[in-house]
Amino acid sequence: MLNYIASLGRFGMHLIQQYGQAGVLLSRTLLRLPNPRKGFPLVVQQVYAEGVLSLLIIIVSGLFIGMVVGLQGYHTLAKFGASQELGPLVALSVVRELGPVVTALLFAGRAGSAIAAEIGLMKATEQLSSMEMMAVDPLQRVIAPRCWGGFISMPLLTLIFNVTAVYGAYLVGVKWLGLDAGAFWSNMQASVDFNLDVVNGIIKSIAFGFVVTWIAVYQGYYAEPTSAGIANATTRTVVYSSLAVLGLDFVLTTMMIGGW
């Protein structure tokens, strides 16, 4: 019994230590002012690596998810004679929930895992140590640009996902199933509120981008410098990010709907 309590205590201490370590890493990364001349090109590179290179998976996923929601929504609404409401159904589902959440999950799998693996490998091959010995701070040179790249990319990817998903629903609902295009767009316009729906969705995506990138850089920076260690860090990045996104989505949705 005592051993059980002791191991529980050790686990708790380890968990708190990890949270503390992650907090210190983030504060050191973001509070040290970067040199704009050197820092800006590095951030642009990371927006390309994390954002532009994720475009394909985001666009394809957005299109198919929009098409599926359109198809399911049409048949469900038709039972109640409300198929003209397909536009609002798709737009609200995508802009409020599916857009930010699915983009964040895809971002964690595509960019988050790549960030963790790259930083872990740089650590294992002594690239971070050699940078330190050259009097170059790895937090500013390697970690900070990846953080900012993630923070900037996620909301933009979410917007692109939203547009693509709505277009996918339009293809199914209007072009395939024969809904009236005017009703589809005008009902959507009348039902979607810019501040309550679009802006809240973007706020969610900013929060998700922050959390996913933070988890990825933390897991990479503190990865055990072995092949198994890097593999574990990559896996943990995807698992923890996905769970964090889903949990955080519930909290944010509750706050936005006014439950708190």
Partner 1 sequence: MTHLIDIKGLSFQRNHRPIFSSVDLTITRGKITAIMGPSGSGKTTLLRLIGGQLIPGQGTITIDGQVIHKLKRRSLYQLRKRMGMLFQSAGLFTHLTVFENVAFPLREHTQLSEAMIRNLVLLKLQMVGLRGARDLMPSELSGGMARRVALARAIALDPELIMYDEPFSGQDPISMAVLVKLVHTLNQSLGLTSIIVSHDVPETLSITDYAYVISDGKVIGRGTAESIKHTDSAQLQQFLQGLPDGPVPFHYPAINIEQDLIGETR
**What's CA 96's distance to the chain center, in Å?**
14
To which H or E segment does residue 242 belong? helix 227-257
Nearer to partner 1, 105 or 142 (CB): 142
Cα–Cα distance measured from residue 193 to residue 257, given in angstroms and rounded to the nearest whole number: 13
Cα–Cα distance measured from residue 249 to residue 63, given in angstroms and rounded to the nearest whole number: 22
Nearer to partner 1, 130 or 189 (CB): 130
In the range 77-136, which residues lie near partner 1 by CB under 8 A? 125-127, 129-130, 132-136
CB of 148 to partner 1, least distance (A): 18
CB of 128 to partner 1, least distance (A): 9
- The binding track of 137-176 with respect to partner 1, each residue x by CB under 8 A or -, is x---x-----------------------------------
CB of 127 to partner 1, least distance (A): 6
Nearer to partner 1, 85 or 118 (CB): 118
In the range 29-48, which residues lie near partner 1 by CB under 8 A? 38
Q: Please list, residue by residue across 136-158, b when 16 or more beta carbons sit within 10 angstroms of its beta carbon and e when fewer do.
A: eebbbbbbbbbbbbbbbbbbbbb
End-to-end CA distance of the chain: 40
Nearer to partner 1, 137 or 249 (CB): 137
Structure tokens at 154: 């996620």
CB of 137 to partner 1, least distance (A): 7
Structure tokens at 129: 């140590």
Cα–Cα distance measured from residue 212 to residue 151, given in angstroms and rounded to the nearest whole number: 9
Nearer to partner 1, 91 or 216 (CB): 216
| CA separation, residue 171 to residues 66, 166, 176 (Å) | 9, 9, 6
Nearer to partner 1, 72 or 125 (CB): 125
With contacts defined by CB under 8 A, how many residues of the chain interact with partner 1? 13
Nearer to partner 1, 10 or 38 (CB): 38
**What's CA 142's distance to the chain center, in Å?**
20
CB of 21 to partner 1, least distance (A): 17
CB of 223 to partner 1, least distance (A): 16
Residue closest to 68 by CA, chosen among 51, 47, 89, 49: 89
Tell me: does residue 17 bind partner 1 (CB under 8 A). Answer: no
Q: What is the DSSP letter of 223?
A: S
Helix (H, G, I), strand (E, B) or coil at 125: coil
Residues that bind partner 1 (CB under 8 A): 38, 125-127, 129-130, 132-137, 141
